[in-house]
Chains A and B, each alone.
Chain A
Amino acid sequence: MSQRLASAFARGRPALVCFLTAGDGDTASNLDALVAGGADVIELGMPFTDPMADGPAIQAANIRSLAAGTTNRDVLLIANEFRERHPDVPLVLMGYANPMIRRGPEWFASEASACGVDGVICVDIPPEEDDALGPALRDAGIDLIRLATPTTDARRLPTVLEGSSGFVYYVSVAGITGLQQANTASIESAVARLKAATDLPIAVGFGVRTPEQAGAIARVADGVVVGSALVELVEHHGVHAPEHIRALTASLAEAVHAQNKEIAG
């Protein structure tokens, strides 16, 4: 596992994972604002024309980014420059299969590795199609972070965990990003089920918008993922987004970091 990711989840407190779409607004300044606000892990979205797992906020960010002319090389450049500014903050690329495999999975894995990327989340490559990307990432020393969902039952869980590393992203609702949020009780039982099956840290996301929600999840999980609420700040505030991103991140981080980690492994 990436040393940076391992450290982020081994600080004796839950980690705050923050998502932004690359190429949407002044990405470098927005990412710096996440770090300044206290984000522990940065999730950088690769824009795609057909983001079918995403709700309206992140769909719109994808379209804005592509309309601004963002290419895969731009995304990698953003990652590379982030790594130079922040040598110790773990960086995860999130996106869809087609842009990741278009030039071959080996190309993507080696470029991402050279840019200091620690992990990759690919929404539409389930473990059954791991060959399409997984071996290339593992050879390049990049964690493949898989998703578990409310529909992932106990029988299927080992399949999902096989080949997973970095952390497990628990998608707390069967749905798309940014809309509804699961109740704390169902998240608690799901995280307990995952923890019984793996030693990897468990980060929970989908529908988390406020410090209160983030704090409640941090009581039971190793990490909390926030995406759409941050992406909306980019949409609404444009060049002034960094100050708003920093403020929201700081309040989320305070709520998340206040929870002790007695439940977490």
Chain B
Amino acid sequence: MSFLPACKELDRQPLGDMIRNFGENAVLRALDKPTLSSEDYMALLSPAAEPHLEAMAQAAHKRTLQHFGRTIQLFTPLYLANHCSNHCVYCGFNARNDIPRSQLSMDELRVEAEAIAATGLKHLLILTGEAPNKAGVDYLEEAVTVLAPIFPSVSIEVFPMDEADYVRLIGAGVDGLTVFQETYNKELYEKLHPAGPKRVYDYRLEAPDRGCRAGMRVVNIGGLLGLDDWRRESFMTGMHAAHLLHAYPGVDIAVSLPRMRPHTGAFQPAHIVDDRQLVQIMTALRLFLPRVSITISTREAPEFRDNILPLGVTRMSAGVTTAVGGHTKGNDTAQFDISDPRSVDEMCSALKTRGYQPVFKDWEPITSPGSHEIAR
């Protein structure tokens, strides 16, 4: 069963008010437990938890250390194309935005991939907008065939697709899937996505379930923090991750915590999430789900990224450009502005200074009999 029925049920509840009603005792109880219930998680997201942020941070640090050690896995995104038929009001690639559109040819892709590989990075996340007749499943499959011999791990963050298409891409060498629901608030979702295939909330919501069933090794979800009440959104994200963990025990579930950034276009977030709140979200999530990977992207500023390292983060992007071909052609078609422009080398020394080891490779492709290392 997918997350949809549970999500619909939760969506009917006044979750924001419920979370705001927790008192200090519930927070202290939650902090004391080895295994947290969904009510405990709510308590940690409540205003009553705010005075206990330091205790939450200490506990989250301890859990993270236990399960992940002092290591941070590094990856980088590669934008394949920025054509998009969607009208997401918060995004620079929005079909109505007048920006130069492009799509990498396979030769350009190879050059871009080699430029990334030269920095030492081994985990790659490929992205496109949603324009199935330009950058559809065939195009992605071809791209993955080019990339798989260069990178031990290739994940996709593209449009949601059917299970059979995920199976096809896994066959080509994809091992991870990222799908952001953006907001779990259905009514708001429909307002923010006025036109285009992304309008269909249910199809997007069930994409992680389809990816898990298709055999993805890692499935990464998240909400775009800033669109709606963050307490409610964070609770829903945690419940979504908990559902996936329970329903697909063989899949590694990961959560990203992206905050909205300035971009081309007029939309500004209605619910700004400040630094303290992001820390509350991350530490609550870590305590609720001690083994999920947590990703912090270069949307965040260098100093903040360095400071939140011990609080639950396990994966970070580095050497990032959000423009198509940005690693070789420059940055003028970026999806959004990044805040941490550090190179891979600079990221590594920053991690080492903080007592963390950057990990470049943490996967060996084993799905196809002639595996990566032997093939080369």
Same complex:
no
The residues of A with any CB-CB pair to B shorter than 8 Å are none
The residues of B with any CB-CB pair to A shorter than 8 Å are none
